Amino acid sequence: MAEKIKALIREYQEGKLSRREFLRQAIMLTGSLAAADSLIGGLLPKGAYAAQVPESDPDILTHNVQYQGKSTAVSAYLARPVKAGKYPALIVIHEDAGLSDHIRDVARRFAKQGYVALAPDYLSRLGGTRLVSPKGQGLANIGELIPWHVVAEDTEAGIRYLRVLPDVRRDRMGVVGFCWGGGMAYITATQARDLRAVVVYYGESPTPLDLVKNIQAPVLAHYGEKDQRTNKGIPGTEAAMKKYNKVYDYKIYPGAQHAFNNDTSKERFHASAASGAWGRTEEFLRKHLKS
């Protein structure tokens, strides 16, 4: 058993396995997620917590770009498939820590799946994430620093930027947001037009809830069972979506807490919830953006 686990770790460190596949096989070897976390957590060196899709992946291209927002230039990270073609596009809205390595990795994961993914730095007008959040920690006052209407403006500008790229299908646009960005994905969907898909990871509901009447795209939402603060808004959101005949699907993942998809946080990451949510996200985006 120990030798198999060591071999598994070695394959992961050499880049032969994605994080998701690594965890799947680790759970199979140890018999449970808890056992895998306990055993492998002690064996893995700190450097083993690597990106799921490295920038060197031969199937993708990455760029640091700028596009013009309504009142300022917005810095962003762009990931796209290397193979020539026309692809649906996604705006990836970061957590309250700003544009982090984790969110860049998420953008690359989408590129690997056949999307052009743009991850704006919504702190650009304040000097950028590296200046405002140098330690990569959550900003408790991010809502005051970047009001929701500014996020909507910068997202809509990002959509316009994507539409002129030669490898983007102009009629296949979506938005995905995490944590603070999940709430911003909700609220942006009430403002932006021509979106075809909205994915919310543990984001707070729009205020007031009647704003959901303006959402045109289907919405998929993911929540952690232990995230009581965010989850208080679920019943009202569901009722409002039904009231205005919106397409809304959500799931609460057992045992998971807020930010369960962030695999750079050992305290919050929940492997089975993250894997399940990602699978549902892939299916949802494939249905609404690739058809």
Report whether the peptide linkage leading into residue 208 is cis, meaning its omega lies within 30 degrees of zero.
yes
- Angle between helices 33-43 and 19-30 in degrees, nearest 10: 110
Q: Please state the rounded mean pLDDT for residues 139-145.
A: 93
Contact 117, 123 (CB under 8 A): no
The verdict on whether 37 is a catalytic residue reads: no
Kindly state the tokens that stand for 42: 């002690």
The single residue of 94, 102, 222, 258 carrying the catalytic annotation is 258
Q: What are phi and psi of 250, to 5 degrees?
A: -145, 160
Q: What pLDDT, in 10s, does the model give residues 93-115?
A: 999 999 999 999 999 999 999 99
Q: What is the pTM of this model?
A: 0.84
- Host H or E run for residue 265: none
The single residue of 37, 57, 96, 227 carrying the catalytic annotation is 227
pLDDT-derived band at 46 (thresholds 50, 70, 90) equals very low
Distance between CA atoms of residues 242 and 236, nearest Å: 10
Q: How many CB atoms lie within 10 A of CB 177?
A: 27
Place of tokens 């998809």: 261
Look at residue 88 and tell me whether its pLDDT is greater than 70.
yes
Does residue 202 or residue 24 have the better pLDDT? 202
Does residue 14 or residue 254 have the better pLDDT? 254
The single residue of 37, 179, 222, 270 carrying the catalytic annotation is 179
Helix, strand, coil percentages (3-state) for the chain, rounded to 5, are: 45, 20, 35
3-class secondary structure, 89: strand
Distance between CA atoms of residues 63 and 118, nearest Å: 10
The verdict on whether 121 is a catalytic residue reads: no
Which fold is adopted by the domain 56-289? Rossmann fold (3.40.50)
The verdict on whether 258 is a catalytic residue reads: yes
Helices (H), 88-172: 101-112, 129-132, 142-145, 148-163
